[in-house]
Amino acid sequence: MTTMTTTKKRDFLTLTDLTLAEHDRLYARAVELKAERRAGKVHATLAGKTLACVFEKASTRTRLSFEAAIMQLGGHSIILDAAGSQLGRGEPVADTARVTSSYVDAIMFRTFGDDRLAAFAAASRVPVINGLSDGGHPVQLLADLMTVRERLGPLTGRIVAWVGDGASNMARSWIEAALLFGFELRIAAPVGFRPLPNEVHAMRAHVHLASSPEEAVTGADVVNTDVWVSMGQEPETAGRHGAFAGYCVDRALLARAQPGALVLHCLPAHRGEEIAAEVIDDPVLGAAIFEQAENRMHVQKALLELLLVT
Catalytic residue of the set 165, 296, 298, 300: 296
| Catalytic residue flag (residue 137) | yes
| Catalytic residue flag (residue 140) | yes
Catalytic residue of the set 61, 116, 137, 265: 137
Contacts of 132 (CB under 8 A, 6+ apart): 57, 59, 62, 110, 111, 139, 140, 169
Task: Report whether the peptide linkage leading into residue 190 is cis, meaning its omega lies within 30 degrees of zero.
Answer: no
Catalytic residue of the set 53, 266, 298, 300: 266
Bridge partners of 263?
A: 223
| Catalytic residue flag (residue 251) | no
**Cβ-contact 37, 72 below 8 angstroms:** yes
* Burial class, 119, CB count within 10 angstroms (exposed 0-12 / middle 13-18 / buried 19+): middle
At 306, the amino acid letter reads: L
Catalytic residue of the set 140, 292, 298, 300: 140
Contacts of 118 (CB under 8 A, 6+ apart): 13
Q: What's the start-to-end Cα distance of the chain, in Å? A: 27
Catalytic residue of the set 23, 110, 158, 298: 110
C-alpha span between 186 and 183 (Å, rounded): 10
**Cβ-contact 218, 257 below 8 angstroms:** yes
Maximal C-alpha separation, the chain: 72
Residue-by-residue DSSP string for 121-147: HHH-SS-EEEEEBTTB-HHHHHHHHHH
Catalytic residue of the set 226, 248, 265, 292: 226
Residue-by-residue DSSP string for 235-298: GGHHHHHHHTTT--B-HHHHTTS-TT-EEEE-S---BTTTB-HHHHTSTTTTHHHHHHHHHHHH
| Catalytic residue flag (residue 226) | yes
Active site residues per annotation? 110, 137, 140, 226, 266, 296
